[in-house]
Amino acid sequence: MTITQHDKQSLIDLANEARKRAYVPYSKYPVGSAVRTKSGKTYTGVNIENAAYPQTMCAERVAIFKAVSEGEKEFEVIAVVTDNGGSPCGGCRQVMAEFGLDTIVLLADKNGNLVKDTTVKELLPEAFTPEKLVNK
């Protein structure tokens, strides 16, 4: 599928809408995400914090895990919306790499402005991928 500017903005808008449902009583830093699969389906996610901080889950992983739980494993594009257009954490980058280094990553701010248009490969150079686990 071709990803148009309209498609990108629509995905950013979905992520920004999802962001309103983030559970962030501690950081007050809501994040929304929307991932579009190669089959054309879209899944959203939000960050969900926990009083036991290590148990917090990022929006990007929520969206990806929802998609995988529905049988999707090939992603075309993921949008991430934060207050200031922040970039995914290392853990989220590794999860994105699991499903494709060529996935487009759109980073946007709370006003829906695209801050950065990149790929997983650019966000995580030298990524450890499933191919590295091939038995010899």
Contacts of 6 (CB under 8 A, 6+ apart): none
In the residue annotation, 76 being an active-site residue is answered as no
What is the residue-wise DSSP string for 13-32?
HHHHHHHTT-B-TTT----E
What's phi and psi for 65, nearest 5 deg?
-65, -35
Picking from 19, 49, 48, the residue whose alpha carbon sits closest to that of residue 33 is 19
**pLDDT given for residue 121 in this prediction:** 98
Domain that includes residue 29, residue range: 5-133
Domain total in the chain: 1
- CATH number, domain containing residue 37: 3.40.140.10
**pLDDT given for residue 131 in this prediction:** 87
Whether the model pTM is above 0.75: yes
Spot the catalytic one: 49, 60, 72, 76. Answer: 60
**pLDDT given for residue 1 in this prediction:** 62
**pLDDT given for residue 43 in this prediction:** 98
Q: Where are the alpha helices (DSSP H) in the chain?
A: 5-19, 59-69, 90-98, 120-123
**pLDDT given for residue 134 in this prediction:** 75
pLDDT in tens, the chain (136 residues): 689 999 999 999 999 999 999 999 999 999 999 999 999 999 999 999 999 999 999 999 999 999 999 999 999 999 999 999 999 999 999 999 999 999 999 999 999 999 999 999 999 999 999 888 977 5
